[in-house]
Amino acid sequence: MKSNNMDNLDLDFDTEHRVWDKLPTMKAVVCWLATLFLLTQVVFFFDSQGDDVHSLGYLGRKVQNRSFIASTIGGSRLNGHSFGCSRSAAILAPEIQKVSDSRYVIPSDVEPSVYCDESASHETLRAGDYIEKDLLCGARKAAMVPLAGKPKLAFLFLVRGEIVFEPLWRRFFHGNEESYSVYVHASNASYDYPESSFFHGKSVLSRPVKRFSMTLVDAQRRLLAHALRDSRNANAWFTFVCEKTLPVRNFPFIFNYITNSETSFVEAFLPKLATRRKWNQEPEFRRNQTRKGEAWMSVHRRHAGLIVAESKLYAKFDRDLVGAAHDESYIQTMLAMVDAQGIANRTVMYVDWSDPHHSSHPSLIRVRNATQGAATFRKIQQQTWNEDGYFIDSRERGSDDNEPSCMYNGSPFSNCYMFARKFAAGGEEVEALLSLPKEVLGY
């Protein structure tokens, strides 16, 4: 029986062989197809090397959610222009996720800002505009250069003038000089920090700011631009704070928490429909793409570069948004459109919006004695739920764009806050805060 099976097998093979010999055209077609396949693979390889090296820089970072690649490709367009994503990036996804430093450089094929295009008309710039063209364009170029040196955390102080909590900030920074840099933008441009001040010599070119205008965004971009261009410091992360902000943990804890994050800490939730209906977002973007969130964000270098480089949405918000907080919407909307999976959709700044009568201002954090101060700091330090945030009474009901648990690199119920504002700055409160021991503050 076995012999018959072998005979049949030999017969089948001979039959196929004879048929194959009689079909030279079939052989030629198969060989031609095989050659064409090899050629397309070679072309694809070189095309991906030339086109997607920048996509790797844009997409290449460690992310736990693998859907990031799929959600970014085809969706990372701003007003019809890609920010560096292309079709073959999906095929290279496993390789991309091994790249750990792409948070620190923007791709060179990011569309240039209109301010950096010498041939473009600058009619979009307002008369007396506070955006320094050379500063922003230089910052954009600096953000495209790979980071060299030990990464630092840049603290961007957006203040009016005097910083009354300077003694506490001095304590916080002490002994960590190789890991931080400080930049101050005082809206009172005439304010001068004395030589004895910790903040002396750390001011950037500052301009007045006004609520419900792009001047606050201008101040944010100005701070980012100076920090990006500072060749003395390898600034990898950028954190915005104000004069009523205090750290709630020690420097090493905050530095490690922020710089090891896979995402920038930017809050960007869908605001109520009534808020979105106040102005016309089209044709630049759809109404349901509008986002809102706290201005006190922490972003990595790539996102900082995108913020200073972008101009089309900036012009749209500047021209058409009236009677609203631009600093709580422009950057949030832009980053949510460009890299929704690359932001944590929360900040690391505790702000108490829980008072139903807060109007447009959060509740002051009042510390009148050491006991009250210790309880306040421990409460903030122990929070793993984002329950006092700005989005509570501002977001659209039923929207799921805010996770109540504080996610950190994919882990829920993580520590939420590294900083807090707005601390009352009266004489009694300042003295009480200064009296808090290291065991409470961590510094």
Kindly list the domain boundaries of the chain, sorted by start residue: 2-102, 114-441
Q: Is residue 190 exposed (0-12), middle (13-18) or buried (19+ Cβ within 10 Å)?
A: exposed
pLDDT at residue number 33: 63
**Which residues of the chain carry a pLDDT beneath 50?**
1-24, 26, 40-100, 114, 118-131
Residue 197: its pLDDT value, please?
Answer: 97
Query: Could you give the CA distance from residue 231 to residue 141 in angstroms, rounded to a whole number?
Result: 12
Sheet holding 180-186, edge to edge: 180-186, 152-159, 235-241, 298-300
Distances (CA, A) of 199 to 41, 191, 218: 57, 12, 21
For residues 364 and 348, what is the distance between their CA atoms, to the nearest angstrom?
A: 18
Cβ–Cβ under 8 Å, residues 56 and 96: yes
pTM above 0.85, yes or no: no
Q: Give the DSSP letter string of 137-167.
A: HHHHHHHTSPP-SS-EEEEEEEESS--TTHH
C-beta of residue 299 within 8 angstroms of C-beta of residue 223: no
pLDDT value at residue 69? 22
* Residue 221 three-state SS: helix
Q: Are 56 and 25 in contact (CB under 8 A)?
A: no
Q: State residue 395's pLDDT score.
A: 61
According to the model, what pLDDT value does residue 359 have? Answer: 62
**DSSP letter, residue 388:** S
Burial class for 62, CB neighbours closer than 10 Å (0-12, 13-18, 19+): middle
pLDDT at residue 378, as a whole number: 95
DSSP per-residue letters across 301-328: HHHHHHHHH--HHHHHHHHH--SS-GGG
**pLDDT recorded at residue 402:** 56
Per-residue pLDDT, 415: 95
Confidence at residue 228, expressed as pLDDT on a 0 to 100 scale? 96
